[in-house]
């Protein structure tokens, strides 16, 4: 097992402690299930979509939550009495509960979600505030500064 010491990153990069913390969390051996299968698409420069295959789940059985920079999608299948009587020869459609977490980048927010044909589509948008957008800085010569004074 490899152990990475990321403490030098905390000392060297001012204001990047969030990045170092994310790297630290990623290095941990926490395995996340690949169920249900999902796609992440780039629709535009700042538009994203997560599509999850949630066949067999009703809208009322799915929950989407955001907290800080984490998107959590979970599904809890309602227990049915009739399923105890069912006898499968082959069961390829998983009807198990799940929880999947996605780490969102800065300034990314969930815009909406819809469930259609067994696919859950979650629309994301990155909105960069004006204060964080690149801007040009005018360079004044010392001669101009002396003339203004």
Measured CA to CA, the distance from residue 114 to residue 133 in angstroms comes to 31
Q: Return the domain boundaries, the chain.
A: 1-30, 33-148
pLDDT digits (tens, 9 = 90+) for 32-59: 677 899 999 999 888 999 999 998 899 9
- CATH class given for the domain over 33-148: mainly beta
What beta strand segments (E) does 3-149 contain? 38-42, 47-53, 62-67, 70-75, 98-103, 108-116, 119-126
Query: What is the torsion angle, in degrees rounded to the nearest 10, for the CA atoms of residue 111, residue 26, residue 101 and residue 109?
Result: -10
Percent of the chain with pLDDT over 90: 34
pLDDT digits (tens, 9 = 90+) for 1-20: 566 665 665 554 545 555 55
């Amino acid at each position: 097992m490899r152990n990475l010491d990321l403490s030098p990153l905390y000392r060297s990069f001012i204001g990047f402690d969030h990045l170092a913390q994310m790297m630290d969390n990623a290095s941990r051996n926490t395995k996340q299930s690949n169920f249900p299968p999902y796609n992440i698409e780039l629709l535009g420069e700042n538009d994203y979509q997560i599509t999850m295959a949630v066949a067999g789940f009703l809208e009322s059985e799915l929950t989407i939550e955001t907290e800080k920079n984490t998107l959590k999608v979970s599904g809890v299948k309602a227990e049915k009495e009739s399923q105890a009587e069912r006898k499968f020869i082959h069961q390829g459609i998983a009807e198990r509960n799940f929880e999947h977490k996605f780490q969102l980048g800065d300034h990314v927010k969930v815009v909406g979600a819809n469930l259609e044909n067994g696919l859950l589509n979650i629309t994301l948008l990155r909105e960069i505030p004006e204060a964080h957008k690149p801007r040009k800085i005018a360079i004044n010569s010392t001669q101009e500064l002396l003339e203004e004074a």
